[in-house]
Structure 1
Amino acid sequence: MPSKSSTRLAALTVAAVCSAASTVLVTSPAHADTVRIHDIQGDTRMSPYAGEQVTDVAGIVTGIRTYGSSRGFWIQDPAPDADPATSEGVFVFTGSTPKGVAVGDAVTVSGTVTEYVPGGTSSGNQSLTEITRATFTVVSSGNPVPAATVVDARSVPAAYAPAGDPAANGSVNALPLRPSTYALDRYESLEGMNVQVSDARVVGATDPHTELWVTVKPWENRNRRGGTVYGSYDAQNTGRLQIQSLGRAADFPDANVGDTLTGTTTGPLDFNQYGGYTLVANELGTLEEGGLERETTRRQRAGELAVATYNVENLDPSDDTFAAHAAAIVDNLSSPDIVSLEEIQDNNGVTDDGTVAADATMTKLIEAIEAAGGPRYDWRSVDPVDKADGGQPGGNIRQAFLFNPDRVSFTDRAGGDATTAVGVTEVRGRAALTVSPGRIDPTSEAFEDSRKPLAGEFVFRGRTVIVIANHFASKGGDQGLTSQYQPPSRGSETQRHLQAKAVHDFTAKLLKTQKNADVVVLGDINDFEFSETTEILEGDGTLWSAVKSLPESERYSYVYQGNSQVLDQILISPSIRRGCTFSYDSVHVNAEFHDQISDHDPQVLRFRP
């Protein structure tokens, strides 16, 4: 038998076999004598038998997947070896719904050992060892399923992953598994096996794809609302695990963060494109609600200006969420004076016919807010060039300002359009915008196929406040935390760093013109408060991210793969920070809930200009 550590996928003659937009890496089949599952899995992430034919691999069927593009069943050897690094389970890919097989059947399987990369090799994902082009024989039925291996706080190490091999571009694929040292190695050593979690707290709400996230480490970076906070690149939260089900989608629980799957949740441990290691449950625990409620922030006082940011997730006139968004703005945000909205789409949404105006979208939202008991807001924005700002094709998303004209006024200066850059001037000794509203560097490569920052000049109680609304480039395309490359690459940062520098430099010009100018930079920054993107925005004291005024356990506006994290921020100029009159609130109304109307939570800053 070849040594797994010496067998590299790169050394194989590779052909690509496409299935449902993912890539399977195989080789020209060679023959191998009958082997056990743990021989196939070996002690690294890559099978020593990749591309070879195996015959009469024995195991007990532990689960059958009859839906989606990856149909088949899992088998597990009831007689494990003594090596904790070698998994005793493997997935048998049949392509179509497997027939003539049931959980508890003892089977022998023949086929090709394949390393399947969910999402394709360009994703950087780890691969899943499978037996493909399979034939099988049922030897007997009604056998006990091998006992589930318990996954809990004691068995999952605190360290997340080993550093990748520099000689393999940082890949961990060929490294020997150390399941007692690294969490990802522990999960990999259980790939395809029957595993179990008990009384697991939900840290990622049920999503439209019928999946949720739990933690097996109840106190790992826990916050007061039951989530798990992602506070640095070195604290990935090793206890997180995605849960799916082999049962009917209708039977899957609608869970919020802070709920608990009581009892045991048991099934094969899979690896997929969107969540990494995933327990695909034959048996789901019972949902016990944690009683999580949506937050309400306090109303601003008479002398306070309230400025908010809210990503309303591709809002267009055909949506049925206007009343809910209005209620969130009026009731949960207490009707801020200024609201920066991200992901406002044009008047016909994703219909791609050249429409770029969004007046129908904004009017419908304003009317819904008034109907909900809020003020009659006014609004300002700049229509983009068609198909130039990214987002859903045809949607032409942009930022827009809502403002309450009973509390603030907007300083209109004509000339701002999709391609005209806003500049800085001086009016009566104070910094001002050359156009208002206007866009920062709209033709710069920093904002290519991305939203352009929207600057607006407001007056509150005689004091000018300049607000810059942002929606930076998304993190799409970055390698996931469970990537085969460790640490994973964050390639999307390159554009956000350019965007952050452009906004920082514009703010610096304002402050050079007027040292004590009140400037608020806010929006969906698509990066963390500890990121280099934020450091570039802040510069050497030009701005400061107000989310840092919160305790570390309360710094989040988004929940992704069970990690509560910061993506939305409000940054403030020194005059606002020095005054010590500001308060900041991340208002949790969406991200932790299965019935969210947006995947982002809004943020509110209150201060006395």
Structure 2
Amino acid sequence: MHAKSRVRAIIVAAGVLVGSIAALPSPSVAAAAPGTVVISQVYGGGGNSGATFSNDYVELFNRSGAPVSLDGWSVQYTSATGTGNFAANKADLAGTLAPGQYHLVQLAAGSTPSGALPQPDSVGSINMSGTAGKVALVRSAEGLACNGSSAPCSDAQLAQLADLVGYGGANFFEGSAAPALTNATGGLRKSGGCADTDDNGADFETAAPAPRNGATTPAPCGADPSPTPTPTPTPTPTPTESCDTPSTHPISQVQGSGETSPVAGQNVRVEGIVTGSFQGSGGLGGFYLQAARPDADPATSEGLFVFSSSPVKAGDRVLVSGKVIEYNGLTEISPATAVNVCGTGAIRPAKVDLPLRKDGVTFERYEGMLVTFDDDLAVSETYNLARYGEITLAEDERLWQPTDRKGVDTEKDARRKILLDDGSAAQNPPTLPYHTKGSNTVRIGDEVRDLTGVLTYGFDVYRVQPTQPVVFRAENPRPAQPAKVGGDVRVASLNTLNWFTTLGSRGATTAAERDRQLAKLVANITTLNPAVAGLMEVERNDDVALNALVDALNAKAGAGTYKAITHPNPGTDLIQTALIYQPAKVTPVGPARSSSDPIFNRPPLVQAFAKAGRPGKTFTVLVNHFKSKGCTDADGPATGDDADQGDGQSCYNAKRVKQAKAVLALIDSLRLTNALVVGDINAYGEEDPIHTFEDAGLASLSKKYVKKEDRYSYVFDGLSGELDHVLADKGARKLVTGATIWHVNADEGRFMDYNTEYNPPYLYAPDAFRSSDHDPLLVGLRL
């Protein structure tokens, strides 16, 4: 539950009246009384080209002067004019909104990673349109079997609508539709969310998306907008509880033997020892306690989270009163109505061995308990380390993509991983909460032993909030140089992570970021020192970006050290493949060539080379960047054979196979010899596109020359694998003296890159590390 707002309030009012949508005067127009909780922002461009954020989102806001519970509510969506119902796209809500408080609902991510949202308060999978759609805030978790137009909503369904926003060309809205949106703009309710004239067109304006969450400072409206005042009953005095007031339930009974508490919704009083306090500014808003003596049932947890600001410390024996709730899957007491410190005690951590056994044992039995992992746990992902203080750990070794290599046991992998959190709700801290001994960061593959903390649950994953210092060992130290590959000509392949000279597009957003990115790319390439380098993700802008990179390389390596090859058919994408070479080492043979096959929107670049001064023996480099695995592009969602087939190869696998066949046809039609197919194939080592190449006689050089544990170039969702390849035909293989993958990028956190957003300034250095998100490959040839 890291960074989730834990602000709660006890509703003491007899009831909170929420403005409801009235009967429709026409199929497309709804009239409503001003709402208490309203939709304050909509954004559907997440992860699209030029998007500000990676995810779509809906923001909610409490306009009223009283807290409102969202338990049992939902956000629902349907297309602007289609026939689909709201029920098909639903995200459930929970929690309570204080007056003036926001609630951020993170929705689906697009295929182009961009900015991360603030920590969401709810998470759903709705995929909204970036331009036009209909969003409903529903006072029910049941999906509405209507869309307001082709399937008009009944009076009963309309009565469930707390708010409705139709934007763009939507045919169902309040008053008139809100303006159309873009990938770079969201719809924002005016006056910080307070405006509600029952007219979407009047209440909403377009602006840069600016999502707010429950941790944002509340901004109450000037007056309670409820149509009628809410009476406040006279509170009933409650007896003062003390250490003499006995418990009513053991913690194990509150937890129960299943995923939810058998006494949820009931008031209880429990006794236990505090195992970890995470209170105060930036904390989790409470503490964990655990029974001093466990019961006889191993299926029941002995620990519990208590949402309370009453000061306690580890080792306190406390009695706690309050209501039992399930908060996003975590059993807890919230809020605590009484916390009595009645002595001290000690809890011995339970030992947890990974992987968990196959007999149905899950982390649920340890939820809220103090545990120690008596294993070497390897870092498998650091994506959110600087953002939210999270690291994915796995027993014994990192996690692998199952389609990258044989023998990956996905079921076992699910039982051998755990998320390390930092016990904090702070976002973007000025320094990393963890680092490896002797370093100021943590690399994937580094290890920790005897991890001790409270095992808890939040955001759909079990996690550990540490109660003892966490020390990582450098089991995967930074390689200052790539491994030696021999030969007299070196060929490299590297993805530049959107090297753009145009600001605010796919690459840097400021001149400072562009300079930082360029410095890292130059450090990467000059250290590789290739005679030929195939590049991906270079801006397609008449070689302006490509030449800027060459100029920077020559400024460091010496005038004339590198030259660029002009692509004869750079394609239609914003990015292109590219080639640079050292004229003192190799000489281009013949013109640069490409493919006109429409299967490519980033066509390959083909160039033959000979060793400088020795024009006899040649080799040919084909630089490629195949279709990505994302399931949506400019043409819409993947369909048919290109849709995700559920085989682990994601979307557009069929297209990547066709692209591989087109490259093979190009080799044949151009009668290429000593061919090296290099680039970001967007396919892992045992996927169909790679098999297509191998079946045709090309061989993966990394499979031959790189040890299995080192054969990876990319990390996605905590899984390592090789998306980038160098494949050689029979003739080229006779020239190869070695190959390696230089792990300067994939093992480094994104917080080490050139971006200034969210990245602690002290971590940036103009070196090769995290110059991209893909590792470069290097091959030695003897000509």
Structure 2 length-normalised TM: 0.53
Match of 2:468 among 243, 267, 283: 283
% identical aligned pairs: 22
Partner of 1:409: 588
Bigger RCO (CA 8 Å, 6+ sep): 1
Structure 1 pair 472/337, CA: closer, same or farther in 2 (3 Å)? farther
Show the 5 A alignment for 1:291-306.
Answer: 292-294=477-479, 295-298=481-484, 301-302=487-488, 304=489, 306=490
Partner of 2:700: 545
The alignment status of 1:47 with 2:245, answered yes or no, reads no
Partner of 2:651: 495
What residue identity is the alignment partner of 1:190?
A: Y
8 Å contact from structure 2 (residues 307, 334) kept in 1: yes
8 Å contact from structure 1 (residues 65, 246) kept in 2: no
What residue identity is the alignment partner of 1:340?
A: G
Q: Which moved more, 1:322-331 or 1:461-470?
A: 461-470
**1:506 Cα shift?**
0.5
Match of 2:325 among 113, 132, 137: 113
Question: Deviations 1:346-368 (Å, cap 9, x if unpaired)?
Answer: 4xxxxxxxxx6274433332233
Partner of 1:76: 290
Question: Deviations 1:420-466 (Å, cap 9, x if unpaired)?
Answer: x624xxxxxxxxxxxxxxxx6246xxxxxxxx343333333463614
For 2:478 and 2:623, how far apart are their aligned partners in 1?
Answer: 31
For 1:529 and 1:330, how far apart are their aligned partners in 2?
Answer: 28
Indicate the SS of the match to 1:150: strand
8 Å contact from structure 1 (residues 89, 192) kept in 2: yes
Match of 1:323 among 497, 519, 525: 519
Q: Please, what is the CA RMSD of the aligned residues?
A: 4.3
For 1:191 and 1:476, how far apart are their aligned partners in 2?
Answer: 35
**1:603 Cα shift?**
0.9
Match of 2:443 among 256, 273, 290: 256
**1:529 Cα shift?**
1.1
The alignment status of 1:85 with 2:299, answered yes or no, reads yes
Indicate the SS of the match to 1:589: coil
Question: Deviations 1:296-354 (Å, cap 9, x if unpaired)?
Answer: 2336633x4x33222233334433132232222222x2x2233222333x4xxxxxxxx
Match of 1:339 among 527, 533, 554: 533
8 Å contact from structure 1 (residues 453, 469) kept in 2: yes
What residue identity is the alignment partner of 1:312?
A: T
What residue identity is the alignment partner of 1:441?
A: I
Structure 1 pair 255/468, CA: closer, same or farther in 2 (3 Å)? closer
For 1:204 and 1:252, how far apart are their aligned partners in 2?
Answer: 14
**1:35 Cα shift?**
4.9
For 1:17 and 1:341, how far apart are their aligned partners in 2?
Answer: 45
Show the 5 A alignment for 1:4-19.
Answer: 15=74, 16-17=92-93, 19=103
Indicate the SS of the match to 1:135: strand
Structure 1 pair 272/113, CA: closer, same or farther in 2 (3 Å)? closer
Question: Deviations 1:206-262 (Å, cap 9, x if unpaired)?
Answer: 543334454543xx5899xxxxx9764415645443323227954532233565546
Structure 1 length-normalised TM: 0.66
For 2:283 and 2:655, how far apart are their aligned partners in 1?
Answer: 38
Partner of 1:510: 666
The alignment status of 1:203 with 2:387, answered yes or no, reads no
Partner of 1:459: 609
For 1:283 and 1:230, how far apart are their aligned partners in 2?
Answer: 36
What residue identity is the alignment partner of 1:114?
A: E
The alignment status of 1:602 with 2:776, answered yes or no, reads yes
Structure 1 pair 544/261, CA: closer, same or farther in 2 (3 Å)? same
**1:138 Cα shift?**
0.8
Partner of 1:308: 492
Partner of 2:421: 244
For 1:65 and 1:233, how far apart are their aligned partners in 2?
Answer: 41
What residue identity is the alignment partner of 2:368?
A: G
Structure 1 pair 514/469, CA: closer, same or farther in 2 (3 Å)? closer
Indicate the SS of the match to 2:660: helix
For 2:307 and 2:654, how far apart are their aligned partners in 1?
Answer: 44
Show the 5 A alignment for 1:87-106.
Answer: 87-92=301-306, 98=309, 100-105=311-316, 106=318
Q: Which moved more, 1:141-150 or 1:62-71?
A: 62-71
Show the 5 A alignment for 1:318-467.
Answer: 318=511, 319=513, 320-331=516-527, 333=528, 335-344=529-538, 346=539, 357=541, 359-373=543-557, 375-381=561-567, 385=572, 396-406=574-584, 407-409=586-588, 412=591, 422-423=596-597, 441-442=599-600, 452-460=602-610, 461=615, 463=618, 465-467=620-622
Structure 1 segments unaligned to the other structure (5+ residues): 1-11, 117-127, 158-178, 224-228, 347-355, 390-395, 424-439, 444-451, 478-487
Show the 5 A alignment for 1:570-609.
Answer: 570-577=726-733, 579=734, 581=736, 583-593=738-748, 595=752, 596-597=769-770, 598-607=772-781
8 Å contact from structure 1 (residues 257, 593) kept in 2: yes
8 Å contact from structure 1 (residues 465, 520) kept in 2: yes
8 Å contact from structure 1 (residues 202, 212) kept in 2: no
**1:470 Cα shift?**
1.2
The alignment status of 1:234 with 2:409, answered yes or no, reads yes
